[in-house]
């Protein structure tokens, strides 16, 4: 562990690989999107439970949460569930490159939400970054519409998934002012898992009717994409600036696209490359503007 603390870039690389494998794992699940997402969150809650209940101070904080924090965390979990279902479904209709790149527009939706709902202000340069990002999304949508509309539907689902996760992020910004990361994420993940299981039941999906793939994929997503992905990035904030950590996450669409090219033969068309570069460039530009405030 001391070696890793002296060389934290190793964990940045691990985090990038973890989140980049998310879209790849989802492609191997034969179950409906809600079922795959449910298993991901159920496994995540199972893996985190010993950490939460094994530490007295964490357990004490969990049981002492006020009603407002619990409600907001639960609502955050609902939007996270919506995000997972929409994004997983988008991967069935469009390419990994298009889907993962469009989902990266989350930070832009967070900025707009912060401005509209929390009375924040957006600088002129930030507006330019948002415009570039939106333009990149349009370029990808136009390129994918040429395939007959199926990919365009997947792109729209990915965009809605980005909006949903932005709401989750905005709520987290409020709750995290007085609740630790461990407790907040545990409540959110638990609520998310409950909503996803309930969604499966309402839609008539039996969790164990789709073979072993959904269970295994859910476990892989929990371990690699959640614990060795997003949780690793949270750990890295101790050693790197938030701007650098946020920027490193933008490697996800690139790495995921490389995996998809080798595993599924998905080679993005040139317009998708152009649109992707615009989205990632605009998002990176916005991240730097935020870092220099």
Of the listed ranges 9-23, 40-54, 193-207, the one predicted with least confidence: 9-23
Cβ neighbours, 10 Å, residue 97: 25
Question: What is the chain's Cα-based Rg?
Answer: 19
Query: What are the domain boundaries of the chain?
Result: 2-291
Rounded CA separation 61/100 (Å): 35
Give 124-140 pLDDT, tens digit per residue.
777 788 788 888 888 88
Answer whether 199's CB lies under 8 Å from 81's CB: yes
Taking 70 as the threshold, does the pLDDT of residue 174 lie above it? yes
Which pLDDT value is given to residue 293? 59
Rounded CA separation 26/87 (Å): 10
Tokens of 242: 């938030």
DSSP 8-state secondary structure symbol assigned to residue 120 = -
Which pLDDT value is given to residue 163? 92
Cβ neighbours, 10 Å, residue 292: 9
- pTM for this structure? 0.87
Residue with more model confidence, 290 or 35: 35
Rounded CA separation 87/18 (Å): 17
Which pLDDT value is given to residue 40? 95
Which pLDDT value is given to residue 244? 66
Provide the Cα torsion 64, 231, 264, 166; round to 10°.
Answer: 60
Continuous segment of H or E residues that includes residue 283? helix 270-291
Average pLDDT over residues 43-71: 92
Which pLDDT value is given to residue 39? 95
CA-to-CA dists, residue 247 to 88, 204, 225, 288, angstroms? 23, 40, 17, 9
Q: What is the mean pLDDT of the chain?
A: 85
Which pLDDT value is given to residue 3? 66
- Alpha-helical segments (H) within 30-149: 33-54, 56-63, 67-90, 96-103, 106-117, 124-145
Give 232-288 pLDDT, tens digit per residue.
876 776 777 655 666 677 788 888 888 888 998 888 778 888 888 888 888 777 777
């Amino acid at each position: 562990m001391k070696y890793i603390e002296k060389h934290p870039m190793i964990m940045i690389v691990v985090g990038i690989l973890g989140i980049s494998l998310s879209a790849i794992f989802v492609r191997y699940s034969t179950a409906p999107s809600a079922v795959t997402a449910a298993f991901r969150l159920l496994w995540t809650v199972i893996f985190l439970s010993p950490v939460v209940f094994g530490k007295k101070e964490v357990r004490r904080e969990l049981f002492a949460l006020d009603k407002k924090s619990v409600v907001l965390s639960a609502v955050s979990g609902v939007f996270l569930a919506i995000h997972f279902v929409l994004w997983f479904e988008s991967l069935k209709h469009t390419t990994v490159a298009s889907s993962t790149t469009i989902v990266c527009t989350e930070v832009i939706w967070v900025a707009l939400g912060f401005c509209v709902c929390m009375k924040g202000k957006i600088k002129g340069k930030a507006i330019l970054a948002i415009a570039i990002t939106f333009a990149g999304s349009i370029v990808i949508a136009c390129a994918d519409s040429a395939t007959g509309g199926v990919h365009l539907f997947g792109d729209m689902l990915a965009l809605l998934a980005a909006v949903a996760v932005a709401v989750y992020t905005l709520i987290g910004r409020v709750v995290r002012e007085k609740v630790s990361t461990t407790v907040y994420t545990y409540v959110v993940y638990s609520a998310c898992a409950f909503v996803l299981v309930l969604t499966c039941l309402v839609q008539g999906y039996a969790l164990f009717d789709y073979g072993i793939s959904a269970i295994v994929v859910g476990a892989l997503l929990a371990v690699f994409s959640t614990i060795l992905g997003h949780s690793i990035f949270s750990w890295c904030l101790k050693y790197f600036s938030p701007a650098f950590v946020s920027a490193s996450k933008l490697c996800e669409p690139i790495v995921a696209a490389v995996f998809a090219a080798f595993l599924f033969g998905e080679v993005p068309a040139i317009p998708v490359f152009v649109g992707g570069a615009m989205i990632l460039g605009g998002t990176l530009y916005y991240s730097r503007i935020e870092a220099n405030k």
